[in-house]
Structure 1
Amino acid sequence: MSQWFDTMTLWLETNPEWLGLTIFLVACLECLAIAGILIPGTVVLFTLAVLAGSGALTLWETIALAYAGGLLGDAISYGLGRHFHQGIRRLPVLRDHPEWLARAENYFQRYGVVSLLVGRYIGPLRPMLPLVAGMLDMPFVRFILVSMLAAAGWAVAYMLPGWATGAALRLPLPEGFWSAAGTVAGAIALMLLVVILSSLRELRWATAVAAGLSATLLAALLLGVPYLSPLDQGLMTLVQEQRNSTLDSIALLITGLGDFTTQVAAGVLLTGLLLLSRRYAAAALVAGCMLFTALTNTGLKHLFARARPEVLLQPLDTFSLPSGHSSAAFAFFLALGILAGRGTPARTRLTWLLLASLPALAIALSRVYLGVHWPTDVLAGALLAGSVCAAWLAFLQRRAVLAPLSARIWWLILPASLALLGAVSAWSLPEALQQYRY
């Protein structure tokens, strides 16, 4: 496998015109039933994304190809399950490994549609869940809509890191970029590793550890910002290289989701609906996460008084560190992720937090793309929200664990909150077009 992988990589380096098709096919195989378990798709996709970022493909082409390939793999798997139904169990590979199908079937029957969203990020389940969905006659329209949503987050999460690495190797970057990037990435990876392991072991102090590590890393970042200038300058160069008018409009819609007015309205609505549903602890979680994050963010902004990047024609007159959009978005969506994971195993809780982080990450990245925040600004905002949410959750659960929300409550709060976010963001778009000119 290693020799074949090295040969493929060398061939694609000399024949980059085939890289796009290769990304499409590998993404399809990674999401294809059985094949996705047998091939090291994650490693291969990262390597292909690095090659794409070295100049062969733009970021958006890379993500679009992986997205299309993943959708095709899902559709084929679903079709196989729909065609063979229970006879799928008698196929040679599945007959020898019945546990693959049994695990996915149990997961799907327990979580239904949600399993297709969460299981997308769990390696052994990803290629098998669409097969099970077809086998159990899930309506095709419902399946394809959920698959389109799940594949979008998956494509970004899997391709963006590799593409950014390839682009960073290609462009002339400031001296000290790689050492700063390595330090930040290593610190974040270590924090996540400790948090994940303590959560998987169901340790009582896992939430408090997450809060402490996030706060410690935030403090180190705030104090070390002057030494991270090469990282900020280099990443800003990478991002600004991808700008175009179409993406500007998309970024403005996304960034509007994190505006102060939008987040306040969404927080008040969500808290109010939870109070009306008599889920007082859940309402306290949402209100506390958003309120304490906003207050801390405001204090830190004035304490550090960091200037924004000089990208806009009319620079904003507020300070940039930490990013208010990033901290507010992570506080809101992490609170939703915490509530979604109540009453589930640790792996599922972590996956819900990952899914909840994706829209918040999109908002944070839109700030860097629009040139109104440095990368370390949005990272500080994310760490701030993470530490506040974890600390507040640990406080609320000091006597009893938060109870899970029923499906009826989720059907009440989730569509209403997301609809409000989208409506307010679209309404504020004309003003944003004038504000974020560059």
Structure 2
Amino acid sequence: MTDFLDPVLTFIADNPSLAGLICFLAAMGEALFLIGLFVPTTVVLVGAGTLVGLGKLELMPLLIWTTLGATAGDAVSYWIGWKFKDTIKNIWPLYKYRSMIESGEEFFKRHGGKSVFIGRFVPGVKSVVPGIAGMVGMNFTRFSVVNVTSAVAWSIAHIAPGVIAGSALHAISQISVRLALVLGALLFIVFLSVMLGRWLILIILPLFPNAHAAIARWFSRRPDRISQWIGHNFDPAHPRSTGMLASTIILLVSMPAFFWLIGEVAPNEPMVRADLAILNLFDSLRTPLGDKIMVFMTTLGDGVVVTAVAVAVALYLFAKKAWRRGIGFVIAIAGTAIFVPLLKLMLHRSRPMELYTGADAYSFPSGHATLNAVLFGICAVLIAHERSRWAKAAIFSVTVTYVIAIGFSRIYLGAHWMSDVLAGLLFGTAIVSAFAFVFGPIHNEKIGRLTVAGIVCAVLAGFGGWHVHRSFDAALVTYAPQVHKEILQAADWRQTTWRSLPAQRIGLNGDAEEPLVIQYAGSLSDFAGLVEKDGWVRPPKWSLSTAGGFVEGETPPDSLPILPRSQNGRQPALVLIRNDPKTAKGGRWVLRLWPSRFEIMEGGTLEPLYVGSVVHEDILRPMGEFSGPKTDRDLPDADNNPARLVPGAVVRQRPGGTPVVLARRPEQPGLASQTGN
């Protein structure tokens, strides 16, 4: 993993002007009239700030580029508003967001000229306020002063969190680079989930306002009582129709996805292979400090903590005589607690490690992910009830972050497969959506939303903290990294057990790729030295000059860097290339060796066993302006397999006829090269 990311960071560090240009375009894009809704500026700027904290970029040039972009974007939006004025509302597709423009006008009326400064920091209006200033004829000089000063403050506010996060990750990387990668991956997953929710609320839903009303009218015209109820409650004029519609859509997506996932975890399905690849990936990234963080999160999501929070919230709801919500809450939690073990018993899917007994000994779905998603999702619904749209977004963002962190910890610790956690999150989301649909419209059961939030936080901090303190040391032992290495005797490996190694490379998506035609035990440097005499060399590293070779039409094959490929989640331990003079337009052979879970024992010596592929890449040159490698052969002839150069190598045939070369270094006395089946 680090071998893949290091060239990316080095590329950015070597080209700071390119990073500045990207930040300029992103900041300008978000400030453009309404277009800013579609530009993921926060992702770009926080990511750039993170690279500053990691020491890969300079802060001041980045701030200057970002400020210039934000200033230019607002200036263009001002000109658009000044040029088109009220006709903007009738231009496609801007009329789809008429309500947002009207909100911007109301915001400008309320705050006057200072709305240009304030609006830059207010989600929902920041992409329209500069245009409104132009529409109402705000003095350009005054606008420019406010524009520049707000752009400076805005740039600092967006880049600073990334700098802090990057500095923290840099400090952690001094302890362990792998831990920094794990935490960075978790932050990325959470951030992506929040951003997708934001785009759904601000961009996708406004595109279909007429469809919402048309569907409601169609149901209201039908005579039966169910259609009348749907038409009334989903009418856009109904104060809670949007929430009910969102709940319905989420339910109709998450529940079918959950049942689809059940079918995908059958034996030999690609999802099963993807699960193993992801497990191996996280196994390679584990560190002692990372284990402690993830054990803390997974222990905080244990069943006893979930039960304590659920009981406390249920007692409060009944004490406030919120009978319907209280009963619905209990049914949702109890039903989920019964459903999860029943489904585990039905599917009998084994865990990656042995943890529990009874139904909990099985894996699918993850009880931690499912129960925490249901409990805290319903609590979020209760707390966010009848609050503003942005308050709801903040509450659900915190909830999503917490629940995903618990699910992530189960995958990291090897307690569950990735699909187990995904299924738990999907089912939990469906239950929360059903609860919100049924009980969201209730307004005559008054509960203290801040009180519910206080109860949840207090029980988590009190009882949850006590449980973590009591169980932490034992949990560290329980979730300790598993040793997956298996020792093979050299003689058995050469004759029979070589067949137990995978026949094809497995990608992260679980698909079977090119054949694995090499099994090598020994030192990688020895292997590289032996095949060097046949023209095999290490490929060029990623840099601006080597990456630029892809956009040039005459780049030699040995000057192009290698695209990454993983085997069951593991990155290659050795990559070599060799030019192919037989191809008229230029081509190359690429050899990759990946570590396996096996070790070879012979004569008291234990050596790691690697599996490898040898593929041929043709260099495509469309229009003579680009150089793009494309795999056109996925295995060499048996005589041209570079592993044959290792003294003592033997050749075996798989049932389909694919030759596999078995080689070991150092050379064992008396071992002659041979061929057999």
Q: TM-score range by the shorter chain?
A: 0.5 to 0.7
Residues 1:413 and 1:283: Cα distance change in structure 2 (over 3 Å):
farther
* Kept in 2: contact 1:256–1:428 (CA 8 A): yes
> Given the alignment of the two structures, is residue 371 of structure 1 paired with residue 414 of structure 2, yes or no?
yes
Shift of 1:344: 3.2
Shift of 1:16: 3.6
2:378 — aligned with what?
Answer: 335
1:223 — aligned with what?
Answer: 263
Q: Could you tell me how far apart the structure 2 residues matched to 1:350 and 1:14 are?
A: 32
**Paired residues, number:** 339
TM-score under structure 1 length normalisation:
0.59
1:395 — aligned with what?
Answer: 438
2:339 — aligned with what?
Answer: 296
1:214 — aligned with what?
Answer: 254
Residues 1:335 and 1:65: Cα distance change in structure 2 (over 3 Å):
farther
Let me know the Cα RMSD of the aligned residues: 5.5
Q: What do the CA deviations read for 1:6-41 (whole angstroms, capped 9, x no partner)?
A: xxxxxx859447289999999999999x99747853
Q: How does 1:306-317 map to 2 (within 5 A)?
A: 306-309=349-352, 312=353, 315-317=355-357
Shift of 1:93: 6.4
Q: Which has the larger radius of gyration?
A: 2
Q: What do the CA deviations read for 1:103-124 (whole angstroms, capped 9, x no partner)?
A: 8x99xxxxxxxxx9xx899996
Residues 1:291 and 1:210: Cα distance change in structure 2 (over 3 Å):
same
Q: Could you tell me how far apart the structure 1 residues matched to 2:336 and 2:52 are?
A: 32
> Given the alignment of the two structures, is residue 409 of structure 1 paired with residue 451 of structure 2, yes or no?
yes
Shift of 1:366: 0.2
Shift of 1:255: 0.2
Q: What do the CA deviations read for 1:78-123 (whole angstroms, capped 9, x no partner)?
A: xxxxxxxxxxxxxx969959959958x99xxxxxxxxx9xx89999
Amino acid at match of 2:474: E
1:173 — aligned with what?
Answer: none
Shift of 1:368: 0.5
2:13 — aligned with what?
Answer: 18
Q: What do the CA deviations read for 1:176-234 (whole angstroms, capped 9, x no partner)?
A: xxxxxxxxx9xxx99x969x956996454442342232211111101121321122122
Shift of 1:394: 2.5
SS at match of 2:365: coil
Q: Name whichever of 388-397 and 347-356 sits farther off.
A: 347-356
Q: Could you tell me how far apart the structure 2 residues matched to 1:234 and 1:428 are?
A: 30
SS at match of 2:432: helix
Q: Could you tell me how far apart the structure 2 residues matched to 1:373 and 1:63 are?
A: 35
Shift of 1:434: 2.3
Shift of 1:382: 0.6
* Kept in 1: contact 2:368–2:407 (CA 8 A): yes
Residues 1:300 and 1:407: Cα distance change in structure 2 (over 3 Å):
closer
1:170 — aligned with what?
Answer: none
Shift of 1:358: 1.1
Q: Could you tell me how far apart the structure 2 residues matched to 1:22 and 1:269 are?
A: 55
Q: Could you tell me how far apart the structure 2 residues matched to 1:365 and 1:354 are?
A: 16
Amino acid at match of 1:207: S
Structure 1: 5+ residue stretches without partners: 1-11, 50-60, 74-91, 107-115, 126-130, 136-143, 164-184
Q: What do the CA deviations read for 1:144-187 (whole angstroms, capped 9, x no partner)?
A: 9xx99xx99x9767634899xxxxxxxxxxxxxxxxxxxxx9xx
Residues 1:406 and 1:159: Cα distance change in structure 2 (over 3 Å):
same
1:248 — aligned with what?
Answer: 291
Quick one: higher RCO (CA 8 Å, sep 6+), 1 or 2?
Answer: 1
Shift of 1:270: 2.0
Q: Could you tell me how far apart the structure 1 residues matched to 2:322 and 2:191 are?
A: 42
Amino acid at match of 2:188: M
* Kept in 2: contact 1:20–1:65 (CA 8 A): no
* Kept in 2: contact 1:26–1:45 (CA 8 A): no
Q: Could you tell me how far apart the structure 2 residues matched to 1:349 and 1:23 are?
A: 37
Alignment match of 1:432 (pick from 470, 475, 479) = 475
Q: What do the CA deviations read for 1:241-270 (whole angstroms, capped 9, x no partner)?
A: 221000101100000121111111111112
Q: What do the CA deviations read for 1:330-377 (whole angstroms, capped 9, x no partner)?
A: 112211221232113556545533431110100001000000100000
1:159 — aligned with what?
Answer: 188
Shift of 1:411: 5.8
Shift of 1:275: 3.0
TM-score under structure 2 length normalisation:
0.40
* Kept in 2: contact 1:257–1:422 (CA 8 A): yes
Identity %: 20
Q: What do the CA deviations read for 1:43-84 (whole angstroms, capped 9, x no partner)?
A: 6469979xxxxxxxxxxx879859xx99xx9xxxxxxxxxxx
* Kept in 2: contact 1:254–1:363 (CA 8 A): yes
1:41 — aligned with what?
Answer: 41
Residues 1:293 and 1:411: Cα distance change in structure 2 (over 3 Å):
closer
Residues 1:411 and 1:382: Cα distance change in structure 2 (over 3 Å):
closer
Q: How does 1:23-172 map to 2 (within 5 A)?
A: 37=31, 41-42=41-42, 44=44, 99=104, 102=107, 159-160=188-189
Residues 1:252 and 1:19: Cα distance change in structure 2 (over 3 Å):
farther
Q: Name whichever of 39-48 and 356-365 sits farther off.
A: 39-48
Q: Between Structure 1 and Structure 2, which shows a larger proportion of helix residues?
A: 1
Amino acid at match of 1:413: I
Amino acid at match of 1:303: M
Q: What do the CA deviations read for 1:252-293 (whole angstroms, capped 9, x no partner)?
A: 000012111111111111222333344444434443332222
SS at match of 1:428: helix
Q: Could you tell me how far apart the structure 2 residues matched to 1:260 and 1:328 are?
A: 8
2:427 — aligned with what?
Answer: 384
* Kept in 2: contact 1:342–1:403 (CA 8 A): no
Residues 1:295 and 1:332: Cα distance change in structure 2 (over 3 Å):
same
Q: Could you tell me how far apart the structure 2 residues matched to 1:161 and 1:353 are?
A: 12
Q: Could you tell me how far apart the structure 1 residues matched to 2:281 and 2:398 are?
A: 25
Amino acid at match of 2:455: I
* Kept in 2: contact 1:207–1:391 (CA 8 A): yes
1:5 — aligned with what?
Answer: none
Q: Could you tell me how far apart the structure 2 residues matched to 1:207 and 1:307 are?
A: 33
* Kept in 1: contact 2:301–2:372 (CA 8 A): yes
> Given the alignment of the two structures, is residue 271 of structure 1 paired with residue 337 of structure 2, yes or no?
no
Structure 2: 5+ residue stretches without partners: 1-6, 33-38, 63-73, 82-102, 112-120, 129-148, 154-160, 170-182, 210-240, 482-677
